Amino acid sequence: MARVLEVQGVSKRFLGLLALKEVSLHLEEGEILAVIGPNGAGKSTLLNVISGLLRPDGGEVRLLGRPITRLSPEARTHLGLGRAFQIVQPLPELSVRENLLVGALFGKPGTSKKAAEAWVEEVLALTGLEARAEAPAGELTLLEDKRLELARALATRPRVLLLDEVMAGLRPKEAEEAVALVRRIRDSGVSVLFIEHLMPVVRALADRVVVLDHGEVIAEGPYEKVAREERVREAYLGRGA
Amino acid sequence: MELLLQTLLNGLLMAGVYALVATGLALSLGVVGIVNFAHGEFLMLGAFLSYLLFAFRGLDPLFALGLAFLAAFLVGALTYWGLIRPVLKAPELNQMLLTFGLSILLQNLALLLFGADTRVVAPPYQAATLALGPFFLGAVPLGAFLLSLALLLSLQLFLTRSRLGLAVRAVAQNRLAPGLLGIEAEGVYLLAFGLAAALAGVAGVMLSVMLYASPSVGFLFTLKSFAIVALAGLGNLKGVVPAALVLALAEALVSTYLPGGGGLVEAVFFLVLFLALVGRAWRGA
Amino acid sequence: MRGILGLLLLFALLPFLPLGAWGAFLLDVGLFILLFTALALSWDLVARTGQLSLAHGAFFGLGAYGAGLMVPHLGTLPALLLGSLLAGAGALLLGSVTLRLHGLYFAIASLAFSEVLRTMALKLPFTGGPIGLPVPPPFGGGWPLASYYLAFAVLLLAVALSLWAERSSFRLAQAATRQSEAVARVLGVRVVRVKLLSLLLGSLVAGLAGGVYAMKALFLNPYEAFSLGRAVEALVIPIFGGLYSTLGPLLGGVVLVGLEQALRLWIQEGYLVVYGALLILAILFLPRGLLGLLGGRRG
């Protein structure tokens, strides 16, 4: 299988503190990969480095075989990277449809207005936001916000989708729906890397799991295997001993 | 050689006042997160206070120092409470427009009240100089330099040694996650904004003797302070002093060595600002 | 849209209305309304990307001096064009460095830019320095209404640009950039380009307005052409009328510039007090301006 996303030896420092320490991981085509780890493990920093909002101090990121480490976030999006934020950030003065239209129009340069509008209708249907299409994005419920976040990333027609805790705060039933939605997205040909705190979601969704702790990869493999590892349990239960 | 050293000495003395004003600006930017275009108007307030007390009460500007500190602190705190607090969560564009509007309002109010003339406060010691070997130090610039240094040191001590100071620094570091600190943060914002204004107010008294009081005197210092803060890096209080030194020395050199430099001195800050920003853009910050 | 067309029609016909003894005065007021409203629209075009330009007075001044210096050699229209391009070049110089950085750097640098240009205009050998620069009227002064209709053409251009930016997909790019740069970038918007293009277009219009102003004023001095007051006007008008729209700055321009011409009869200095106060009040209590008050909904 082809590796659609590769992170090689990426390090990132904040004010002398090492947030990422030579992190390497990869995402296979058609795979759903979970990145888990305790708070402050560096998960969001990793996503920010991959999506280009942060520059790493060392290492390389490759998307579909191309090095993208020095590219701007928008150039990465044009190449097929999509990103949903953890803290929902709607463009509040635009409607839901317009939010998606931004992604559909500018996500791939050269997209005609017509093609973008048609694609937005599909995404609205897929994510169950049709009824709220005209609502100002600043007036959504939390659940709708989360859907918008996902839908907007999808609107850019990504090949690789990064999801940053998009299920946090959802009720179990809502999370279940979201899990099904992510599966449908994968089945449409998008590879997914997601960060998640909710272990049931990780278990249900992930083909493979990477565990980060203190900015380092400490375990990697199928959920069942990783969950049994001593280092992983220590990381989660604290390491006072 | 002597001319060069004398020039550098003049620049060094000026750097103290620059650092004082710019530190205030950096404080309101770093702690409250507000780009205060009206910062220099707190300075103007101090300068006019000094002038009025001197002209109508014959009061020595040394007395005005303490009064200006208190008055500017009060005005700064009121400004925060009445104008800044309501827009803390507004888009940055709105915040900047608000402080810019305040700057325009205060400058032009002063223009209506006092006219555009420059007014100098001239106590008996205004022109006194100390000879230091072949060099001359103005007594007033030297005093202003030492006082600025003392104020900056006290601020440093306050921020690192006192509980309240630690709270100020904590808020500055957590500004990106608002809502966590709630009401405490409000008090800290008020304090920081008041202190920022107070530093500018004191600087204004010094400048009323070294330079003059006029409606537009503060505006120029706002711009120079922005250049210094941009060079130092946002939220970097420690970088302000060296950055102030760079600007003051550059200005002193230009005014001494550039033919007809007198007018172009007022363009040096732009060069510093522009180069600092080019550097920043180059590094991709 | 009907409001915009109505206002434009009124301005087109103003010279032919029976205004009686007040005609000449009202025509002058009308001309200044046209120019400063165009300037305000050009400022709004930049504000739509979330950037605070305090350099619009400088772009105006660049256009004024560029056109003023060139008009004796090149004739009216080429001189106006060159003045406008000069303003555009200034905007590119300023923007290409600062628009890559956080928004506050652009605001600060744009303010510093205005101050420095005034210093330059005072010091450079060919600007007439503090004494000033005489400028001939447009087209050799043969046609009295020439400057009025030049001003009208500048406003038409500003309105057309503004409407284009409102109705094309450029609107979404600008709105996304304004509301969150990080989100806009992740959605594929080339935010630096959007900001730079908006600034360039805005500065070209501001430069044109400055050029026509020079030919109307017949005399330029650095304090007047590069006054901070011009930058203040450029931003108070849209904020008072209604940000991020075409009708807002038009309404604001008619009300405020008209008011200013009257105010100047009363007070020579310090009339900016009113603008400062208005700016603060509008930000605090009327963030959507007159349009918001009238119930207009912006998108």
Contacts of C124 (CB under 8 A, 6+ apart): none
In the predicted structure, residue C188 carries a pLDDT above the cut 80:
yes
List pLDDT tens digits, range C138-149: 998 888 899 999
Pick C187's closest partner by Cβ from A72, A92, A102.
A102
Total domains in the fold of chain B? 1
Strands A208-213 and A32-36: parallel
Cα C183 to chain centroid distance, Å, stands at 30
Contact at CB, B86 and C284, closer than 8 angstroms: yes
> What share of chain C in percent tops pLDDT 70?
97
Torsion of CA A129, A134, A136, A140, to 10 degrees: -30
In the predicted structure, residue B150 carries a pLDDT above the cut 80:
yes
Residue type, B76: G
B273 touching C, CB under 8 A?
yes
3-state secondary structure A24-87: EEEEECCCEEEEECCCCCCHHHHHHHHHCCCCCCEEEEEECCEECCCCCHHHHHHHCEEEECCC
In the predicted structure, residue B181 carries a pLDDT above the cut 60:
no
Residue C19 belongs to some domain of the structure: no
In the predicted structure, residue C170 carries a pLDDT above the cut 50:
yes
Output the average pLDDT for chain B: 90
Bigger pLDDT: C224 or B228?
Answer: B228
What whole-number distance in Å separates Cα of residue B50 and Cα of residue A51?
55
In the predicted structure, residue C125 carries a pLDDT above the cut 90:
no
B89 touching C, CB under 8 A?
no
Contact at CB, A73 and C179, closer than 8 angstroms: no
Pick B108's closest partner by Cβ from C51, C105, C272.
C272
Residue B110 belongs to some domain of the structure: yes
What average pLDDT does range A179-205 have in this prediction? 92
In the predicted structure, residue C264 carries a pLDDT above the cut 80:
no
Contact at CB, C280 and B83, closer than 8 angstroms: yes
Please count the other Cβ atoms lying within 10 Å of the Cβ belonging to residue C141. 12
Residue B199 belongs to some domain of the structure: yes
Contacts 24+ apart (CB under 8 A), A145-148: A145/A88, A145/A90, A146/A88, A146/A170, A146/A178, A148/A88, A148/A90, A148/A96, A148/A99, A148/A100
DSSP for A157-220 reads --SEEEEESTTTT--HHHHHHHHHHHHHHHHTT-EEEEE-S-HHHHHHH-SEEEEEETTEEEEE
Contacts 24+ apart (CB under 8 A), B93-96: B93/C47, B93/C50, B93/C51, B93/C52, B93/C103, B93/C178, B94/C283, B94/C287, B95/B34, B95/B35, B96/B35, B96/B37, B96/C52, B96/C104, B96/C107
Residue B18 belongs to some domain of the structure: yes
Pick C109's closest partner by Cβ from B93, B97, B277.
B277
Residue B251 structure tokens: 């200005």
In the predicted structure, residue B203 carries a pLDDT above the cut 60:
yes
B274 touching C, CB under 8 A?
yes
Residue B284 belongs to some domain of the structure: no
Bigger pLDDT: B134 or C182?
Answer: C182
Residue C115 belongs to some domain of the structure: yes
Residue entry with tokens 């006029």: B214
In the predicted structure, residue B180 carries a pLDDT above the cut 50:
no
> What share of chain B in percent tops pLDDT 70?
95
Structure confidence at residue C141 (pLDDT)? 86
Neighbours of chain B (3+ CB pairs under 8 A): C
List pLDDT tens digits, range A77-103: 999 999 998 777 889 999 999 999 999
Contact at CB, B90 and C277, closer than 8 angstroms: no
B247 touching C, CB under 8 A?
no
pLDDT band, residue B139 (cuts 50/70/90): confident
Tell whether the torsion through CA atoms of C245, C250, C255 and C259 is positive or negative.
positive
Distance from CA of C233 to the nearest CA of A (A): 26
Q: Which residues of C166-191 are buried (b: 16+ CB within 10 A; e: fewer)?
A: beeebbbbbbbbbbbbebbbbbbbbb
Bigger pLDDT: A237 or C45?
Answer: C45
Distance from CA of C238 to the nearest CA of A (A): 18
What average pLDDT does range B264-271 have in this prediction? 86
Residue B101 belongs to some domain of the structure: yes
In the predicted structure, residue A239 carries a pLDDT above the cut 60:
no
What whole-number distance in Å separates Cα of residue B42 and Cα of residue B21?
10
Residue span of the structural domain in which C125 resides = 2-10+25-293
List pLDDT tens digits, range C53-96: 999 999 999 999 999 999 999 999 999 999 999 999 999 999 99
Residue A240 structure tokens: 């006072």
Q: Which CATH number does the domain housing residue C246 bear? A: 1.10.3470
Output the average pLDDT for chain C: 92
C184 touching A, CB under 8 A?
yes
B277 touching C, CB under 8 A?
yes
Contact at CB, C185 and A106, closer than 8 angstroms: no
Residue C96 structure tokens: 């290409």
What whole-number distance in Å separates Cα of residue B188 and Cα of residue B196?
12
B281 touching C, CB under 8 A?
yes
Pick A102's closest partner by Cβ from C172, C182, C298.
C172
Task: Indicate the DSSP class of residue C159.
Answer: H
Nearest to C40 by CA among C154, C194, C150, C117: C154
pLDDT band, residue B131 (cuts 50/70/90): confident
ipTM over 0.90: yes
Residue C298 belongs to some domain of the structure: no
Chain C residues within 8 A of B90 when measuring between CB atoms = 283, 287
Chain C residues within 8 A of B273 when measuring between CB atoms = 108-109, 112
| Residues 7 through 26 of chain B touching chain C, CB cutoff 8 Å | none
Pick C235's closest partner by Cβ from B97, B278, B285.
B97
> What share of chain A in percent tops pLDDT 90?
69
Nearest to C46 by CA among C224, C238, C219: C238
Query: A-C interface: how many C-beta pairs under 8 angstroms?
Result: 79
Domains of chain A by start residue, with CATH:
1-41+59-80+191-241 (3.40.50.300), 83-157 (no CATH)
What whole-number distance in Å separates Cα of residue A192 and Cα of residue A236?
24
Residue count (chain A): 241
List pLDDT tens digits, range A95-127: 999 999 999 999 999 999 999 999 999 999 999
Residue A164 structure tokens: 């940053």
The answer to whether A185 and A155 have CB atoms below 8 angstroms apart is no
Structure confidence at residue A135 (pLDDT)? 94
Structure confidence at residue B179 (pLDDT)? 46
**Best of B84, B98, B103, B104 to disrupt the C interface by mutation (most C CBs within 10 Å)?**
B104
C265 touching A, CB under 8 A?
no
Distance from CA of B281 to the nearest CA of C (A): 6
Q: How many CA atoms lie within 13 A of B148 on its CB side?
A: 30
In the predicted structure, residue B285 carries a pLDDT above the cut 70:
no
Residue entry with tokens 């010091």: C123
Q: Which CATH number does the domain housing residue B142 bear? A: 1.10.3470
**Best of A106, A119, A164 to disrupt the C interface by mutation (most C CBs within 10 Å)?**
A106
Q: Give the lowest-confidence range in B1-5, B106-110, C237-241.
A: B1-5
Indicate the pTM of the whole model: 0.93
Burial of residue B124 (number of CB atoms within 10 Å: 0-12, 13-18, 19+): exposed
Contact at CB, B273 and C109, closer than 8 angstroms: yes
Total domains in the fold of chain C? 1
DSSP H stretches of helix in chain B: 2-27, 39-57, 61-79, 92-114, 139-161, 163-174, 182-210, 217-232, 240-257, 261-283
pLDDT band, residue A240 (cuts 50/70/90): very low
C231 touching A, CB under 8 A?
no
Residue A55 structure tokens: 């520059």
Residue span of the structural domain in which B7 resides = 2-278
